[in-house]
Amino acid sequence: MTEQDLERIREALGVNQPFLVQYWEFLTGLLRFDFGRSFLGGTPVSRLIADALPATLLLAVVSMVVSIALSIPLGIKAATARGGMADQAIRILSLVGLSVPNFWLATMLVLLFAITLGWLPPSGMEGPANFVMPAVTMGVILTATNVRLVRSSMLETLQSQYVMVARAKGLSESKVLYKHALRNCAIPLITYFGLQFGGLLGGIVVVERVFNWPGLGTLAFDAVAARDYPVLQGVITVLSLLIVGVNLLVDIAYGLVDPRIRTS
């Protein structure tokens, strides 16, 4: 490579300008969602992120739905059967789930359901069947934590006077638990679920890599391996903005769940 080639590359990347000028152009580019071009191939980073973002969001939403669908009924059951066999079994399963690394669980699911049994595709994003193993992997890991949170919140709520009044009025147990008790303990649950969803967006890298999922996690992993800094900067920036946006939606959800917050 000649000196002229190096100078042409510096000119294209803008690194021959003063630091403050480079930083200013970087900030103004962020406002336009212009993260530069990839070092590999010269593809605009914004295009790479736009192609990968829907896959990550879809997998994160499905995983979160799986976790909530499992953790809320299991947590309520553990709270209502406090100290009983069901409570002990759910708490033990929760502890096992907390102890299992997500990459190990993902590998075991691939080994069992894709290689041994041949029921599910091992990788890719070609249809609904491809969602099963990644969503179950993340959903099970999240459920292990969420069950404990739902149980502790419900135990505190079930001691409230309005729950005893609802039962004294003759309401069914399911209506007491899911309409009165669950709604009143929803604030800490919504807070944690929102923070968990934000962490899920950033922590899904390993699972996406195991299942060859075409999302931001795989894009970031490849960028780290290739030292493709513009792509890595763009992915981290977009994930940060998504986490801020999720926290904003959590604050809005408070008012929808608790009328006292909406009134104030």
* Per-domain boundaries in the chain: 50-257
Give the pLDDT confidence score for residue 188 in this predicted structure: 79
d(CA 67, CA 141): 8
Report in angstroms the alpha-carbon separations of 60 from 68, 103, 136, 198, 218.
12, 16, 11, 9, 14
Give the pLDDT confidence score for residue 260 in this predicted structure: 67
Give the pLDDT confidence score for residue 49 in this predicted structure: 92
Instruction: Answer for the pair 201, 162: CB distance below 8 angstroms, yes or no.
Output: no
d(CA 235, CA 35): 9
Q: pLDDT tens across 27-68, in order? A: 888 888 888 888 888 889 999 999 998 988 888 888 888 888
pTM of the model: 0.80
Give the pLDDT confidence score for residue 60 in this predicted structure: 87
Give the pLDDT confidence score for residue 48 in this predicted structure: 92
d(CA 95, CA 110): 23
Positive or negative, the CA dihedral 67, 68, 71, 73 is negative
d(CA 203, CA 56): 11
Q: Provide the CATH topology of domain 50-257.
A: MetI-like fold (1.10.3720)
CA distance between the termini of the chain:
67
Give the pLDDT confidence score for residue 37 in this predicted structure: 86
Please name the residues in contact with 118: beta carbons below 8 A apart, sequence gap of 6 or more.
none
**Under-50 pLDDT residues of the chain:** none
d(CA 30, CA 135): 32
Of 45, 41, 65, 43, nearest to 53 by C-alpha is 45
Write out the E strands in the chain: none
